[in-house]
Structure formats: structure tokens, C-alpha cells
């Protein structure tokens, strides 16, 4: 009998016993059931699992037996979902544990001397010790406070300063036919049209590389995922760029400036040029910060449009330009700062955060992979 049949049988009322046999009647053998003892099968859709309403503890062993056989028995409403969530969490935990081992402990094992064991020394301790040895090979990054001080000084001295940032979009643009094939760039950079690049675009690639070399400060990703630091280092090598020649900070320094309270200080009392598709709503938001809006330039039609945008913005008198224009923001900031002697910041998706307007859906990756904005 399958599970549903057994459940239906369990749902039937208990059979009535026959009257006790008279003395001398045989005591062995099955007693005939009452004609009224036929199992009642509930119609589909009634009760839980289609077997009608049952009470008592008889149902629990049936479900347990079904699970032991690997069958999917009827589950109470909500319990199946919770069981599925728990199973998913178990699989995630198991995969995370295996991945952490493969990416950490197993690599450490390959480098440990075979004649030694290290009781109570964690992977984190090994990593910390190794980092201290390798520290001289690291590249220094400007912290948020240091970047703010430089920006403030440049504003006070009316000196050109361009702060640009490299995320996966910029790196994939630079990788075109240099460290990645065009097919790879198209596959990984499905969002590039939204960011202002229609691949192949070798002219945009070369303009971006030139701007990266000459920017005052370049924000780079801290993530070591394949499309971030590994791709960045391969690009530097392919272009013959000595990283020591660049002044570096984090690619999310725009958010850090806001979160640490520096952005309000930079903006208050300053004449702003706001550049990008969100220039108008951003202007409305920043008025409450005490900013003065000197110009808005919108829209920016990709990296090929950067010269027109620079010409339009340079004709206005401003102190600080905030540029939220995708990949085009990098050459816009560099050329506008050099032409006007003003301060220009690659503002990125911080404009979306301040205005409360969502980013274009074309930027979102499947599986929610993160990107520096």
C-alpha cells in the first residue's frame, strides 16, 4: 500500500469489536468486522493531504516511514516550506564549508612543512603572519580622511583635481582585446551598454586608459574577485603601467566621503556643476545641504559624448563638479579638471542613493553579483 492509501486507512474510524464469544467458542482466528466498519475516504482537497481530518498520533509514524523510504508524503501547510528552507540552508552551509576549505585550509596544507604540525594555529593567524612579511610589497591607498583633505585643499587653492574610480565596467572596457577576448568582454559585460560602452569600442578603451594614467587619484576595487583586482593587475601589466606611478584609493571612496560626513563639508557653500542623467533630481536634493547649483549637464550619451559634456560644463563657473555618468565619468572628470583648474569627482551611483532613485535595471547582475559603483 502506498503512503496515501495507508493515510486513508489511518483516517477511518476504529472498527467496532464483535460481541464477546460465548464460552466454549473458539478463541483463535480473526473476528469478523462489523459491516459498518468500511474505511471512509475523504474527498480530494479536504483535511490535510487529502485524507480528511484525523486526530491522534497515528499519522506521525506514517509520515516518518514515508520519509525513511524517500517518499514525499503530505505535509502540513507551511511545514514543507520550512523544511525546504532548512534543507537549502544545510546545502549552503555545506558548500560554504567545502569552499572555505578548498580556498583556504587546503592551500595552506600544500605549503606547510611535512615535518611539523601547528596545534591551535588558525588559518587567520597564518594569514596575518604572512601579510606582515609581505607588507613591503603592498601598494599604499589613500584613506577617506586623506582624500577629503586633498579635495578641500584643492578647492581652497583653486587647483585642478580629478578623483576617478575603476569598477568592473571600466576594467572590462580596458580589457577589450588586451587581456580578454571580445566574446569574453561581451559575456561578462552584459551591462556595458547601460554604463556607456557599446563593445567593441577601442577608441573609448584607449581614452579611458589615458585618463587613468593622468588622473590625480584613482579609486580601485578592494575585492579580489576575478573581475576586480586580478583583472586590474592584468590590465596594468598589459598597458605597461607601473602601479607605483598612480596615486590610489578605494573605488568606493565616494560612499565613504558621504558616510564619514566629509561630503557635506565639501558641498556646503560651494558652486556645483552636476553632470549626468540624474543631474536635475540631484540638484534638488543637494540644495538642502547648503549647496549652490551653478550648472546641470544632462543627459550624457555614453563615453563617446564626453567631449561635448566637457565643453558644456567648462563654459559655466563652478567650484566642484560631481559626475555620475557611468564609464564616461572618468574622462569627463580628467579633461574638465585639466581645462578649468577645478575639482571633479566621479560620483557614481551615490547620486542614486542621495536622490532615492533606483539604478537602471540593466546594471543589475544575475545572482546579485556586486559591483563597485
Q: Residue 178 in contact with residue 200, Cβ under 8 Å?
A: no
**Would you state the pLDDT for residue 155?**
98
Which tens digits make up the pLDDT trace of 272-329? 999 999 999 999 999 989 899 999 999 999 999 999 999 999 999 999 999 999 999 9
Measure the CA–CA gap between 191 and 369, rounded to whole angstroms: 12
CA angle (371 as vertex; 365, 373 as ends), nearest 5: 120
Beta strands in the chain (DSSP E): 141-142, 161-165, 217-220, 248-250, 271-276, 292-297, 320-324, 343-346
Q: What is the DSSP letter of 217?
A: E
Q: Considering the entire predicted model, what is its pTM?
A: 0.72
| pLDDT by 10s per residue, the chain, length 373 | 444 444 444 444 444 444 444 444 444 444 444 444 444 444 444 443 444 444 444 444 554 444 444 444 444 556 556 666 667 777 877 777 777 666 778 888 888 898 988 888 988 898 899 889 999 999 999 999 999 999 999 999 999 999 999 999 999 999 999 999 999 999 999 999 999 999 999 999 999 999 999 999 999 999 999 999 999 999 999 999 999 999 999 999 999 999 999 999 999 999 999 999 999 999 999 998 989 999 999 999 999 999 999 999 999 999 999 999 999 999 999 999 999 999 999 999 999 999 998 776 555 543 333 445 6
Q: Is 371 left (phi over 0), alpha (psi -120 to 50) or beta?
A: beta
Whole-number pLDDT of residue 39 = 46
Question: Residue 95: what pLDDT?
Answer: 77
Amino acid at each position: 500500500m502506498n503512503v496515501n492509501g495507508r493515510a486513508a486507512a489511518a483516517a477511518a474510524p476504529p472498527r467496532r469489536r464483535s460481541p464477546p464469544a460465548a464460552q466454549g467458542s473458539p478463541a483463535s482466528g480473526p473476528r469478523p468486522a462489523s459491516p459498518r466498519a468500511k474505511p471512509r475516504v475523504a474527498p480530494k482537497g479536504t483535511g490535510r493531504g487529502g485524507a480528511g481530518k484525523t486526530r491522534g498520533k497515528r499519522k506521525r509514524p506514517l509520515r516518518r516511514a514515508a520519509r525513511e523510504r524517500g517518499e514525499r508524503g503530505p505535509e502540513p501547510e507551511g511545514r514543507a516550506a520550512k523544511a525546504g528552507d532548512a534543507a537549502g540552508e544545510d546545502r549552503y552551509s555545506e558548500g560554504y564549508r567545502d569552499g572555505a576549505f578548498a580556498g583556504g585550509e587546503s592551500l595552506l596544507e600544500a605549503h606547510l612543512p611535512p615535518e611539523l604540525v601547528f596545534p591551535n594555529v588558525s588559518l587567520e593567524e597564518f594569514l596575518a603572519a604572512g601579510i606582515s612579511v609581505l607588507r613591503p610589497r603592498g601598494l599604499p591607498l589613500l584613506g577617506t580622511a586623506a582624500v577629503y583633505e586633498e579635495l578641500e585643499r584643492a578647492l581652497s587653492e583653486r587647483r585642478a583635481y580629478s578623483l576617478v574610480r575603476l569598477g568592473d565596467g571600466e576594467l572590462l572596457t580596458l580589457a577589450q582585446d588586451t587581456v580578454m577576448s571580445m566574446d569574453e568582454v561581451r559575456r561578462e559585460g552584459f551591462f556595458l551598454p547601460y554604463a556607456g560602452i557599446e563593445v567593441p569600442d577601442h577608441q573609448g578603451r584607449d581614452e579611458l586608459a589615458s585618463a587613468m594614467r593622468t588622473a590625480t587619484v584613482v579609486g580601485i576595487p578592494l575585492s579580489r574577485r576575478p573581475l576586480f583586482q586580478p583583472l586590474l593587475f592584468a590590465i596594468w601589466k598589459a598597458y605597461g603601467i607601473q602601479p607605483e606611478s598612480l596615486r590610489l584609493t578605494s573605488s568606493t571612496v565616494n560612499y565613504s566621503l558621504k558616510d564619514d560626513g566629509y561630503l557635506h563639508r565639501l558641498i556646503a557653500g560651494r558652486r556645483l556643476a552636476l553632470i549626468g542623467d540624474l543631474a536635475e533630481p540631484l540638484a534638488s536634493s543637494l540644495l538642502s545641504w547648503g549647496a549652490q547649483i551653478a550648472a546641470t549637464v544632462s543627459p550624457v550619451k555614453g563615453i563617446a559624448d564626453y567631449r561635448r559634456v566637457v565643453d558644456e560644463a567648462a563654459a559655466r563657473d563652478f567650484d566642484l563638479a560631481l559626475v555620475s555618468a557611468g564609464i564616461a565619468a572618468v574622462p569627463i572628470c580628467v579633461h574638465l579638471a585639466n581645462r578649468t583648474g577645478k575639482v571633479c569627482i566621479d560620483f557614481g551611483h551615490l547620486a542614486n542613493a542621495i536622490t532615492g532613485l533606483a539604478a537602471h535595471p540593466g546594471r543589475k547582475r544575475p545572482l546579485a553579483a556586486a559591483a563597485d559603483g
